[in-house]
Structure 1
Amino acid sequence: MNKIQVRIADWQKDNADIRRIREAVFIFEQSVPPELEWDADDNVAIHFLAYEGDFAIGTARLVLDGQIGRVSVLKDWRGLKVGDALMQAAIVEAQNRDLKQQMLTAQVHATAFYERLGFKVVSEEFLEAGIPHVDMVRDSKEMA
């Protein structure tokens, strides 16, 4: 396996890869309705793509209020730290933009993953697209 590379993506130029990954993970695997997957934040968010070689295998986005979301890795590449690489890229970008706090809405089964990265659960469990979620927050100043 090649080393995983993450770069900032261009929503327009990299749209096909971002859509391919998010559709595979959220729409097909998790049955999220397409109208809930795509939103106005996509046009303004900073997107990230993870690659193995020249093949895009994961994506995430950072909205300029510090919200990290749409973290998704294709099934065959899970467990290989691709999600860690995407999250680290998003956190660094948030810090570079002086966003003191990063927030996300996590699927409950993924909370331990985000806790390893310094996020804390700040809400009760709730359903989003029929999937149990919690809100989580990470303060940059606490992690410095």
Structure 2
Amino acid sequence: MNFGIEVTQDRATCFDLRFKVFVEEQGVPVEEEIDIMDEVAVHMLASINGKPVGTARVLFEGDTAKIGRVCVVPEGRGTGLGAALIQEGVAIARRQAGVHKVKLGAQIQALGFYEKLGFHAFGPTYLDAGIEHRDMGLSLV
């Protein structure tokens, strides 16, 4: 299987993938899915054999990069693409001067996935768009 991940300006395709996963599949209210932070985020687009199947975004706040809106449509799951998206997000963070840590809000069922990638959960469980999450972090130093 041939997959690739690139930084993209094609937010429309990213939004379409996010809509399919978050709004249609997980029931996230559409008004909570797209936000003002999309204007300043670095967007990644993942594809298999040229077909877009996943996306994520990276935001920068001081010394922290926040990876979010991570999704892979069903036909891309189980391929390693989700892990590759996170690894690319971490690589983007490492290239940003002054960034020393990466943070994300993980859905509870995905904690193990992120732990395998080196992230550690911290803080309480909270609801985001009606779905239980926990914050997770990774030190880059």
Instruction: Please indicate the TM-score interval, normalised by the length of the shorter structure.
Output: over 0.9
Instruction: Confirm whether residue 23 of structure 1 aligns to residue 22 of structure 2.
Output: no
Residues 86-125 of structure 1: pairs in structure 2 closer than 5 A: 86-98=85-97, 99-125=99-125
The structure 1 segments of at least 4 consecutive aligned residues displaced by more than 6 Å after TM superposition are none
Instruction: Confirm whether residue 137 of structure 1 aligns to residue 137 of structure 2.
Output: yes
Letter in 2 for 1:91: V
Letter in 2 for 1:108: I
Aligned partners of 1:76 and 1:138: how far apart in 2?
28
SS of the equivalent of 1:125 reads strand
Aligned partners of 1:71 and 1:34: how far apart in 2?
16
Letter in 1 for 2:88: A
Aligned partners of 2:60 and 2:130: how far apart in 1?
26
Aligned partners of 1:90 and 1:116: how far apart in 2?
15
Q: Which string of whole-angstrom CA distances, capped at 9 and with x for unpartnered residues, describes residues 61-83 of structure 1?
A: 00012110000000121111110
2:52 alignment partner, one of 42, 56, 65: 56
Q: Which string of whole-angstrom CA distances, capped at 9 and with x for unpartnered residues, describes residues 7-34 of structure 1?
A: 0011xxx122111110000000000001
The answer on whether the counterparts of 2:15 and 2:34 sit within 8 Å (CA) in structure 1 is no
Aligned partners of 1:113 and 1:60: how far apart in 2?
15
2:34 alignment partner, one of 16, 38, 42: 38
Letter in 2 for 1:49: L
SS of the equivalent of 1:79 reads coil
Higher strand share: 2
Aligned CA RMSD, in angstroms, stands at 0.9
Q: Provide the TM-score with structure 1 as the length reference.
A: 0.92
* 1:60 Cα offset (Å): 0.3
